[in-house]
Amino acid sequence: MPKLNRPPKYCKDGKYAAVYFHGKKHRLGIHGSPESQIAYARLLAESKVNPVFSPHRGKTDTTVREVAAAFLDYAEKTLKKPNYIHYRIVVVDFLLKLYGDNTSADDFKQSCLKLVRDEMIQSRRFCRKHINDCTRRIVTMFTWAAEMEYADVNTALAPTRHKTRNSLQ
């Protein structure tokens, strides 16, 4: 069978179901769940009706808690233990404390990052340099989430959009 006529394969991406369609990965939900099976069937049906069909990427349904869990799984496998522990402290103690409910990852904007940073300052647990490092870790986590299509690209760019260089005086 020619490659163009084969349906996309239902794959597992961590705990999520994914389909590679027109060279891009599209997440369907939790692997094996009825919702992901329905989303897969819908994708197949729409691609049969319209061969140039491309699933539209709207807002994702991923929460901040799910992004944090997926990133910590990734970080545990790829980072050295001290770096992983720093990510875990930032995520568990501060990020999930404020946004661990059902907050959508796409709703995490620059003002949310500022609120998490202010919470770190108020805790008086860290010096300024460490708080800046923690803030960069959160930005890194959301950049990774956008790269893995757990969050919208604009979410990852929001904390760094207005970044300016300090001039040496």
Domains located in the chain, CATH noted: 3-49 (no CATH), 64-160 (1.10.150)
pLDDT given at position 158: 55
Each residue of 13-71: pLDDT tens digit?
A: 888 888 877 667 777 778 888 888 877 877 777 776 665 555 544 556 788 888 888 88
Other Cβ atoms within 10 Å of 45 Cβ, number: 10
| Mean pLDDT of all residues in 131-153 | 86
Q: Tens digit of pLDDT for each residue in 110-123?
A: 888 888 888 888 88
d(CA 94, CA 28): 29
User: Is 2's pLDDT higher than 60?
Assistant: no
Burial of 116 (0-12, 13-18, 19+ CB in 10 A): buried
Element (H, E) at 7: none
pLDDT of residue 55: 54
**Tokens standing for residue 90:** 């930032």
pTM higher than 0.75? no
* pLDDT band at residue 157 under the 50/70/90 scheme: low
